[in-house]
């Protein structure tokens, strides 16, 4: 099927809001090449569960494409139009399953050495759109906070190697009441600056009871039932006589909230869909809580573009060496606080990097704290890069300087 053959009925199986959007843009969609239009439809089909920031970006891209004169449109789409696709891929159901189409497209681009050209064209396209619609600065400077190392008594690893180059390394932070101070700051920002999905708290264990109602909360522990259900579904496919990688990918792509015991509609539907995407699209998020927190923070920043984000890393399960696995097959999982500290250290750096990819980066601040210990790094306009501070400081004082 060619994009030119799209009709309103083509989107009959789309969710309500997505269907409306697709039908309203059908004239544009018909003019896009097959190497591009599934990228658009992948976003449209999930439009009902998009965060406000994502919806805005999608609408801006539509506006941009609709504004292009015919010749300019052909120029912008030239690389995508020239992609060599297999007949089987062209014949696949890219309208109802754009995600699967893109996965196969990616494999073909690699196999036919077209990936580099595609990647360059994609980046050029995005830069052009961003230039056309400059993103405004956030209502308040962004603040990211990472809390790492819970459960570690004595560290055996040099922390903050990357982040300390970007700000001030504090060596004498008074740890008492640190988490409460951090939660208080997050809650205060959420209450003072009401932004839908603008303030996040992601926890690798249970969500702390201190989190306020204006804060969007996601926790590894709260998703334990969903993780168990998902793992069981994957196991069934994996062990079935008709197993195929395609079957498992299809399962993951089509899995809905009800199948994992979550709400399908209502106020939490957007967040539930977000949580499902963390488990079905993230690698390692089902098994390791540290990976879950890092990936959730990345996706929250990329998609919701919050002004406040707190990511707290808790000890993940320990990866047993081969000899232990062979000898103690049935042993219960243990936690690995020290390994989790190292995971969290890198995860904090990645969270800062992802925050810096958003607008207002020059005014954004970031704090990473070794929980219950005296070490922290603060990054932002108020903190000279690559410096150290050995004087004693309270966490609430640091928070006052970063927020």
Partner 1 sequence: MLGSGYLNPWAGANSTREVSRAISLSRRDFLRTATGAVAGSALFGSMAGRGMALPRSKKAIVVTFGGGARDDETFALDGQENIPHLLHDLMPRATFFSQVVNRGILGHYVATASLATGVYESFNNFAAVPPDFPTVFEYFRKDLKRPASDAWVIAPSNGFNRIGESGHRSYGAGMGAGVILPKRLLAAALPGGGGGGYDHLLRDNYESAVYSPAVGGHELEMQQLAEVLKLSVNDFAAHAKSLASPDELSVYIARQLMRHLAPSLLWITLHDIDIAHSGTFSLYLDGIKRSDRLCGELWSAIENDPEYAGKTTMFILPDFGRDSDISAGGNGFQHHRTGDPVSRTTWMMAMGPGVRQNVVVERPVESTDLVPTLGSLLGFNPHLSTGKPLTEVL
Binding mask 74-113 for partner 1 (x = CB under 8 A): ---------------------------------x--xxxx
Does 312 sit near partner 1 (CB under 8 A)?
no
Q: How far is CA 114 from the centre of its chain?
A: 27
Within 215-254, the residues that bind partner 1 by CB under 8 A are 234, 238, 243, 245, 248-249
Give yes or no for a contact between 98 and 38, defined as CB atoms under 8 angstroms apart.
yes
Does 325 sit near partner 1 (CB under 8 A)?
yes
Does 14 sit near partner 1 (CB under 8 A)?
no
User: What residues form DSSP beta bridges with 366?
Assistant: 144, 379
Identify the DSSP state of 363. G
- Which residue matches tokens 């409460």? 180
Does 122 sit near partner 1 (CB under 8 A)?
yes
Does 294 sit near partner 1 (CB under 8 A)?
yes
Q: Which two tokens stand for residue 115?
A: 């990936």
- Give Cβ neighbours of residue 145 (< 8 Å, ≥ 6 apart): 182, 185, 186, 309, 310, 311, 366, 367, 368, 369
In the set 171, 236, 357, 385, which binds partner 1 (CB under 8 A)? 357
* Minimum CB–partner distance for residue 360 and partner 1 (Å): 13
Helices marked H in 7-114 — which ranges?
A: 16-24, 26-31, 37-44, 52-67, 70-76, 78-81, 87-91, 98-111
* Minimum CB–partner distance for residue 125 and partner 1 (Å): 6
Helix (H, G, I), strand (E, B) or coil at 152: coil
In the set 197, 200, 349, 369, which binds partner 1 (CB under 8 A)? 349
In the set 72, 90, 123, 334, which binds partner 1 (CB under 8 A)? 123
Element (H, E) at 267: none
Give yes or no for a contact between 287 and 278, defined as CB atoms under 8 angstroms apart.
no
Does 343 sit near partner 1 (CB under 8 A)?
yes
| Contact residues: partner 1, CB under 8 A | 39-40, 42-43, 58, 61, 107, 110-113, 115-116, 119, 122-123, 125-126, 130, 161-162, 234, 238, 243, 245, 248-249, 282-285, 287-288, 290-291, 294-295, 298, 302, 316, 319, 321-323, 325-327, 329-330, 336, 338-343, 345-347, 349-350, 353, 356-357
């Amino acid at each position: 099927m060619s994009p030119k053959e799209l009709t309103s009925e083509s989107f009959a199986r789309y969710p309500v809001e997505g269907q409306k959007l697709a039908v309203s843009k059908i004239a544009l969609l018909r003019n896009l090449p097959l190497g591009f239009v599934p990228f658009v439809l992948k976003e449209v089909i999930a439009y009902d569960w998009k965060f406000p920031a994502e919806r805005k970006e999608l609408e801006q891209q539509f506006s941009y494409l609709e504004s292009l004169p015919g010749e300019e449109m052909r120029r912008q789409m030239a690389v995508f139009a020239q992609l060599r696709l297999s007949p089987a891929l062209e014949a696949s159901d890219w309208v109802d399953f754009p995600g699967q189409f893109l996965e196969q497209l990616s494999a073909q681009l690699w196999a036919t050495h077209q990936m580099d050209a595609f990647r360059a064209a994609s980046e050029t396209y995005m830069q052009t759109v961003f230039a056309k619609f400059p993103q405004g600065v956030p209502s308040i400077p962004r603040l990211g906070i990472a809390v790492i190392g819970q459960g570690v008594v004595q560290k055996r690893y040099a922390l903050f190697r990357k982040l300390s180059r970007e700000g001030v390394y504090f060596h004498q932070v008074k740890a008492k009441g640190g988490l409460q101070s951090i939660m208080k700051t997050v809650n205060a920002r959420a209450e003072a600056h009401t932004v839908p999905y603008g303030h996040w708290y992601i926890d690798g264990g249970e969500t702390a009871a201190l989190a306020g109602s204006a804060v969007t909360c996601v926790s590894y522990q709260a998703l334990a039932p969903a993780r168990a259900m998902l793992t069981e579904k994957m196991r069934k496919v994996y062990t079935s006589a008709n197993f195929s990688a395609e079957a498992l990918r299809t399962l993951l792509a089509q899995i809905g909230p009800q199948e994992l015991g979550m709400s399908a509609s209502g106020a939490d539907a957007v967040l539930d869909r977000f949580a499902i995407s963390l488990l079905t699209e993230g690698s390692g998020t089902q098994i390791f809580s540290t990976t879950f927190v890092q990936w959730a923070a990345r996706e929250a920043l990329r998609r919701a573009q919050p002004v406040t984000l707190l990511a707290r890393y808790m000890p993940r399960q320990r990866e047993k060496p081969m000899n232990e696995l062979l000898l103690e097959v049935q042993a219960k999982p243990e936690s690995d606080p020290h390994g989790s500290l190292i995971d969290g250290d890198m995860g904090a750096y990645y969270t800062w990097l992802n925050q810096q990819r958003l607008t207002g980066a020059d005014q954004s601040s970031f704090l990473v704290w070794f929980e219950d210990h005296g070490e922290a790094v603060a990054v932002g306009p108020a903190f000279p890069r690559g410096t150290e501070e050995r004087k004693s400081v309270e966490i609430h004082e640091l928070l006052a300087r970063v927020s």
